[in-house]
Amino acid sequence: MVGLSAALLASTIAAPGAVLAQDAGMVDPMKCAGATVNIALVAGERDELGLLDKEAEIEAATGVNLEISTEALGDLNASNNQNLEAPESSVDIMHMIGFTVAQMVGADLMEPLQPYLDDPTKTPADYDFADFPAGQLEYTGYFDVANGQFGGDTLYLIPGIHSGSVLLFYRSDLLGGEGQPAVPTTWAEYLAAAEALTTDEIAGSAMVGANDWSNFFVDWYTRFITTGGQLTTGDKNDGTLQANLDSPEGIAALQNMIDLLPFSPAAVSSYTFTDALDAFSVGKVAMWPAWATIAGALFGPDSGVADKVAVAQVPADDGNPRAIRGGWGLGIPKNLSQERKDCAWHILTMITSKDFEKYQVMTYQTDPNRLSTAADAEVVAALPYIPEAVKAIETAQILETANLPANFEMVALIAEQINLALVGSQDAATAMANAQAAVTDVLKRDGHQK
């Protein structure tokens, strides 16, 4: 596996304004002139913003009409499934979160991309596929359809438009200085620091407390794995797969979240990711474990705390800071004409190029997919959180259930129980017992548990 940290020694890339500056080689830039390419992206994660900025430039250089749409995550997942099952997809370039790859790519409904990548008449000479790290390609690139596993030899997706994992964002004027609480390295220290930092004006901590996927992905799962939890045991293929949600580690992870409620914003049990980001951005929160690619906006021009925010790896009771592997892939549905597939690839290489990614990261603070972006001195100088974000990506852990088609269904069931505990309807043990029962029903239904 190629390490991102080693890439920090690599050379820098071209200036961000020249999105189409790559050497096309044998590629005819106007080969799809007059065609329309529909690109459907997730809303709320700023991925579409760089593309909208460069839309006119790409259209002028290619003669292609771009149709760019965004949908909230749940709606996008549903739309992707509908398009893949239709006689012909209305979307040419599909945005797919890693947690749904097993469901969508695993159903053998996406176009294998290696033939396009290997064809010098279709892929620019300096596209540099080796610039994508192996860990991200394993998750949002290659998939073994026959065995339902990440990795394998068949390329279905190109990582994009962002990757990412979880970092601890904190106020550097409140934490880590002389006479201040230390930056926490365990969850007990985190709880103590949150209590010490809470005032009438500032909450010591924030979380995604709503009935939202991220209350599981970010808040619960990070605590769970860094205190020794293992989400599943057994094998999905022989009917022995079991969840461990109601384990001591599972209950303790939720209890830590409950214990933080007095030191969190009053409405935190209804907080989505956007609510937590907004509260931190206006100076109402001191600490927050968050998706780095979204919370990177705290370093942007619209943040009220850009000069006061710092980052660290998440706390870890086991001494091994790590969190969930996130990120997205871009792919081409199989149920398109060959002409539409070729034009989709033509645009896909542009919006996953080195120059486009640097523009996107520099302008909208999203986490990089390419090694060269992470290594770029200009990027790191402008966005000082990037080295820590890169480190988090290197150590990130693929969710144990991500290779199950029903993964998102199970996560939604768990998130509901977490939220019910945070609003006070049940205690941590009851919540995790209910989550365990709900997930076990799904595993049995799908033949993964006898």
Distances (CA, A) of 363 to 54, 298, 385: 12, 13, 14
CA count, 13 A, side-chain hemisphere, 118 = 6
Distances (CA, A) of 391 to 33, 77, 226, 415, 447: 41, 29, 16, 27, 37
**148 with 102: CB under 8 angstroms?**
yes
β-bridge mates for residue 289, sequence order: 168
How would you write 132-146 as a 3-class SS string?
A: CCHHHHHHHCEEECC
Characterize 335-359 residue by residue with b for buried, 16 or more Cβ atoms within 10 angstroms of its Cβ, and e for exposed: bbeeebbbbbbbbbbbbbbbbbbbb
* Structure tokens that stand for 158 in this block: 């190109």
pLDDT for residue 15: 39
Please name the fold of domain 166-324+406-445.
D-Maltodextrin-Binding Protein; domain 2 (3.40.190)
Domain ranges of the chain: 6-164+325-395, 166-324+406-445
Block residue for tokens 């045991």 = 233
pLDDT for residue 376: 95
Within 10 angstroms of residue 150's Cβ, the number of other Cβ atoms is 22
CA count, 13 A, side-chain hemisphere, 234 = 16
pTM greater than 0.85 (yes/no):
yes
Q: Cα 401 to chain center, whole Å? A: 16
Query: Residue 162 and residue 97: Cα distance in Å, rounded?
Result: 10
Distances (CA, A) of 137 to 142, 150, 163: 6, 9, 10
**343 with 37: CB under 8 angstroms?**
yes
Residues 6 or more apart whose CB falls under 8 angstroms from that of 31 comprise 342, 343, 346
**What is the CA angle 130-389-379, rounded to 5?**
70
The pLDDT averaged over each successive group of 10 residues in the chain (450 residues) is 29 40 80 98 94 97 97 95 97 96 94 97 96 93 95 97 95 95 97 98 98 96 98 95 98 98 98 96 98 92 95 97 96 98 98 96 94 94 91 94 95 98 98 98 96
Q: Do β-strands 65-71 and 36-42 pair in parallel, antiparallel, or remain unpaired?
A: parallel
pLDDT for residue 25: 79
Q: Tell me if 6-164+325-395 shares its fold with 166-324+406-445.
A: yes
Block residue for tokens 């709880």 = 191
Class of domain 6-164+325-395: alpha beta
Nearest to 47 by CA among 181, 125, 140: 140
